[in-house]
Amino acid sequence: MGSKGFILLGLLLVLTILCHSGHSLQCYNCLNPGGTCTRVTNCSSNFDACLSFFGDVQTYYQCWLLANCDYKYLSEHFGEKKLHYECCQKDLCNRSSGRSVTGTTVLLVTPLLTAFWRLFM
């Protein structure tokens, strides 16, 4: 790997550090939203996932503990017999029409990396 390769590797390292800057997880946070849930919350350190919960009576979008993301626990916690749920661990991933900030950043940075690659190769 020549000096150009080391420059590209250095750029990738810097971008990786900037993209994962240690901020807390962000999730949508709504109880029975009438329309689209748009309220965003920063999860506390003891919550490591975002939950989308759809029961017969209730709908929730909130921060959640991934270890408690299973059918039995959720059914007992929310008192619902029939439910659908999803847990995820990326910013704003708990709404189907939500877009991950990290994913958007990657899409914007990819053309920049391609331009640097072509410049130095």
Specify whether domain 23-116 bears CATH 2.60.120.330: no
Mapped to the 3 state alphabet, what secondary structure does 33-95 carry? CCCCCCCEEECCCCCCEEEEEEECCCEEEEEECHHHCCHHHHHHHHCCCCEEEEEECCCCCCC
d(CA 74, CA 109): 38
Structural domain boundaries in the chain: 23-116
Token duo for residue 53: 């919960």
Token code pair at residue 55: 């029961």
- The answer, yes or no, to whether residue 112 has pLDDT greater than 70, is no
pLDDT in tens, 55-108: 999 999 999 999 999 999 999 999 999 999 999 999 999 986 544 444 555 556
pLDDT of 31 strictly over 70: yes
